[in-house]
Structure 1
Amino acid sequence: MVWFGAVMAVVVLVGSMASYAFHARAHYEAIDRALLNAAAATAADPAASAHLGHLTARQGVAMTLRVYDAGGQLVQRLPDDAAPAVDPRVVLARPAGPAYGFFPGLAPSIVDVPQGITGAFATLHDGHQRWRVFVHPVERGGDATGAGPGYVVALAPLGGLDASMADFRVLLTGLGALGLVVAVAGSWAVAGSALRPVARLTEAARAIAASRDLSRRVQAAGRDELAMLAATFNEMLESIETAYRLQQRFVSDASHELRAPLTAILGNLDLLRRRPDLPPEEQAQALEEARREAERLSRLVADLLALARADAGVPLVRKAVDVDAVVLDAFQEARRLAKGQQLVLDPLEPVRIQGDADRIKQLLLILLDNAIKYTPAGGRIVLGLQDAGGDAVLTVADTGVGIPAADLPHVFERFYRADPARSRDPGGTGLGLPIARWIVEQHGGSIAIDSAPGQGTTVTVRLPGTGAGAVQGAGAATAAAS
């Protein structure tokens, strides 16, 4: 509003000055033209001095004409001449500038001085008003009366025009000031109305920061840019609230998961401390249980560290990877973990992509470990790798217990386990699938799960490749797998 008011003030000032300059110069130069024409007409005709009144009437401007001889003595004047005394020789010796002030001088002139006319202008003051004077010397065999050289003097009163210009200045000043006040008041009202949503945003942000209540929202009305800003601010609040609640849930779940193995370890160690006379079998059982819980705790900490790296945006070190070799390595390791399940590798096609071999192996072990845990003995688990136009398509299909449809949208949430079977898993951490999704996203790929209770689960992972096609050594890997 302040800047707008300053700009408007400059515009009004410049506009008022320009209007006054053009208006004033036009009127004052019109009088100068009339004086010049009347004096030139009188000097051109020696007999014109007898018709001075007629000459002044023809100019359309109130004026009077005088004729002086070469010595500066008044020879002829009109009967109603009330102009002040003039010495034409002094005027010619010291000519004056225009009758208007400085600002009108900035406007272009509109007076065309005829060729061959000489003379000088002056501005006099008789105590009541100003007079504009033009002295035209007569350079011929006789003066204006035909007797000899002399001067023709034309005079016009400026009192009426000066008063009119004064009123015009007051009018321009008043209108400019009024326009400026209206413009500033209008800009104040418009700015206040336009910035009111910003004030609400500020108050809401301050209140949310003070109360830490992320459920509050800003009222967004209209369809202008500020309404869009308010809507975006609400979306940001919703995103922050969701992230905050997920963080709270994650901390709570992590604390619970860490507390369970620590409690078991401390319980077994306390039992051994208080009962040194326990039979060797019971001591070995307590130590084995403590060891299992310590291993679970180690896996949980490793998974939490991986997720922390994911949340911190730590990128993977990507290089050319023979995915078929990684799949074969993970298959051999998973086969040692099987507990009566049948593991099959089919198909195994050579594929090379840009990625992190260790993370791809971790991804496969997570999926295979889940399949082994939830597939009963005698079940079948199939691991496959296909080349889909240069992309690596990994599949892990099992004939296990499956996942209910209501739980499928949540399987990638941290510490989430689908009921009922998965909630009874004592060795899992609930972080495997979230880590698997992070690995896939870091490779720019996609992961999908298709499952139904009692019908098994199929996980499909697609990793974008380099389009290099088959790689050397893939045939040997295939032969070893078969």
Structure 2
Amino acid sequence: MSIRLRLALCYGALFALILPFVTGLSYAIHARGQYDDLDRTLIVSTEHAAVEAASSASGPHLAQGEKGFEIALRLYSPNGLLQDQTLGTASLPSIDPRLILRTPTGPAFDTMARLFPPLLGTAAVTPDRGSAFGLMSTPQQRWRVYVLPFHAGQRAGYLEAVTPLGRLDDSIQIFRLTLPLVGLVSLLVALLGSWAIAGNALRPVTQMIQAAQTITFSRDLSRRIAAPMHHDELGRLAATFNEMLVSINTAHQTQQRFVADASHELRAPLTAIQGNIELLRRKPEMPDIDRAEALIELEREAARLSRLVADLLILARADAGIALKHCPLDLDLLVLDAFRETRYLAHGQTLQLAPFEPVQIEGDEDRLKQLLLILLDNALKYTPVGDQVTLGLCRHGCEVDMLVRDTGIGIEPEVLPHVFERFYRADPARSRDPGGTGLGLSIAQWIVEQHAGKIWLESQPRQGTLVTVRLPLRDHSSH
């Protein structure tokens, strides 16, 4: 079942639950209002007639109305004898007013009309003390009766007002039958309206689905979803989806570039190895010096291939999100160890240690040593003979900085933002380090991130480079 249909059915079900209450309340308010207005009219007419009858000089009597009455008035003696009545009312059914006073009748409206209005705090019309309402029924219709006793000096009696309920009952009956039909039509309109509204609201979702399907089939990650006009939840969803597509497209392009660069880097040593093996196979009688050079070349390219594969495995582990194991270690001892190893790699460069402070952190000893060796190896490769490479370790509050500074060729400003990209090597670096893989700084950055640290480079062409690695101290204290 589609979301659109579910929404339409939910809206329709909610409307269907509310509709009976609203229908019943509307009927009750309308019906009760009609009958209450009629009762008020009877009270006002009777009280007015009582005043006129009591003030007549010739004794109590009623003003004669016209034929085609709406309210008939009758005057009774204290003994219940009919004394006077308005014109055209002789044929009306009569009832002893004293009987009405002894057994009064409640409102003329039905049970449903009595049920709802009290919920709204409205009360039915009640007669004054001493008066009463009654109901009479004939084969043709019902009649509403109101009896009011009156006293004027020595004169007394009863005034009775009678009005037919036939037309009002018929009108209320039609209204009662019409309301359910109106309710059903309203329910149908509500279902159709909710279907249309849900379809309009979900149209952006349909467009997103179509765009996603198009991207899936075409594999064109450069396509984007048209953002809705309104900046609502669907608008934010479309924007988030487009941001996700940008991220996926960037990751896809990076992966393609990485695969292409890795294939290129792997092809070079493999080609050299294959060429030397083919040379040794075809020329078994080649001179020993040439054979030795071929074997040295094979060994060098195999080592280069081994380093490249090892670096790729490290980056694959980084991409898989495998975390390093951290344990307490003395970073100053680790720096000294890396410093001693690097001294044997120098080819005429001067290597010194300054500044240097004892520091303890939480980390992976092997990976941190690899980080230092990568940075020191890069510094030595790009520093001319006779220049200087400096390794330092100093604390700053709850953090520690490892510094590797050289006085080498430096890095161009436009190259500096790309130095941590995989397989990215500026032309000067390639010319000076043909055996490198271009993955060293990428691995260094991953190691630093695994230790919740930061790494950055500061460099100027022909003025050297400063690499700063900032790591948190163990438990944010120097211990």
Give the TM-score normalised by the residue count of structure 1: 0.78
Give the SS at the match of 2:202. Answer: helix
Show structure 2 runs of 5+ residues with no match. Answer: 1-6, 150-155
Alignment check: 8 A CA contact 2:410 2:464 kept: yes
User: Post-superposition shift, 1:324?
Assistant: 1.1
Structure 1 window deviating more from structure 2 (182-191 vs 345-354): it is 182-191
- State the match for 1:109 in structure 2: 123
User: Post-superposition shift, 1:86?
Assistant: 6.8
Q: Give the letter for the 2:113 counterpart.
A: P
Show structure 1 runs of 5+ residues with no match. Answer: 138-143, 146-150, 472-482
In structure 1, C-alpha distance between the alignment counterparts of 2:167 and 2:340, rounded to whole Å = 114
1:116–1:41 distance in 2 versus 1, CA, 3 Å: farther
User: Post-superposition shift, 1:331?
Assistant: 0.7
1:223–1:133 distance in 2 versus 1, CA, 3 Å: closer
- State the match for 1:442 in structure 2: 450
1:166–1:120 distance in 2 versus 1, CA, 3 Å: closer
Alignment check: 8 A CA contact 1:68 1:76 kept: no
In structure 1, C-alpha distance between the alignment counterparts of 2:125 and 2:476, rounded to whole Å = 88
- State the match for 1:130 in structure 2: 142
Alignment check: 8 A CA contact 1:264 1:290 kept: yes
In structure 2, C-alpha distance between the alignment counterparts of 1:268 and 1:152, rounded to whole Å = 134
User: Post-superposition shift, 1:365?
Assistant: 0.6
In structure 2, C-alpha distance between the alignment counterparts of 1:52 and 1:268, rounded to whole Å = 142
- State the match for 1:201 in structure 2: 208
For residue 109 of structure 2, the aligned residue among 88, 92, 100 is: 100
Aligned pairs (5 A) from 1:322-333? 322-333=330-341
Structure 1 window deviating more from structure 2 (27-36 vs 338-347): it is 27-36
For residue 414 of structure 1, the aligned residue among 400, 410, 422 is: 422
Q: Give the letter for the 1:112 counterpart.
A: T
1:63–1:264 distance in 2 versus 1, CA, 3 Å: farther
User: Post-superposition shift, 1:412?
Assistant: 0.7
- State the match for 1:367 in structure 2: 375
| CA distances 1:74-110 after superposition (whole Å, capped 9, x unpaired) | 9987663366657879999999875323421232532
User: Post-superposition shift, 1:305?
Assistant: 1.5
Q: Give the letter for the 1:124 counterpart.
A: S
1:230–1:80 distance in 2 versus 1, CA, 3 Å: same
1:123–1:16 distance in 2 versus 1, CA, 3 Å: farther
User: Post-superposition shift, 1:176?
Assistant: 6.3
| CA distances 1:277-301 after superposition (whole Å, capped 9, x unpaired) | 3344333333332222222222212
Alignment check: 8 A CA contact 2:46 2:73 kept: no
1:169–1:470 distance in 2 versus 1, CA, 3 Å: closer
Alignment RMSD, CA only?
4.3
1:277–1:38 distance in 2 versus 1, CA, 3 Å: same
Give the SS at the match of 1:420. Answer: helix
1:469–1:4 distance in 2 versus 1, CA, 3 Å: closer
In structure 2, C-alpha distance between the alignment counterparts of 1:398 and 1:283, rounded to whole Å = 39
Alignment check: 8 A CA contact 1:130 1:159 kept: yes
- State the match for 1:218 in structure 2: 225
Give the SS at the match of 2:428. Answer: coil
User: Post-superposition shift, 1:251?
Assistant: 1.3
Q: Give the letter for the 2:169 counterpart.
A: D
User: Post-superposition shift, 1:276?
Assistant: 3.3
User: Post-superposition shift, 1:267?
Assistant: 2.9
Tell me if 1:381 matches 2:389: yes
- State the match for 1:317 in structure 2: 325
1:276–1:69 distance in 2 versus 1, CA, 3 Å: same
User: Post-superposition shift, 1:447?
Assistant: 1.4
User: Post-superposition shift, 1:434?
Assistant: 0.5
- State the match for 1:289 in structure 2: 297
For residue 346 of structure 1, the aligned residue among 319, 330, 354 is: 354
In structure 1, C-alpha distance between the alignment counterparts of 2:355 and 2:179, rounded to whole Å = 92
- State the match for 1:229 in structure 2: 237
Tell me if 1:260 matches 2:272: no
Q: Give the letter for the 1:399 counterpart.
A: T
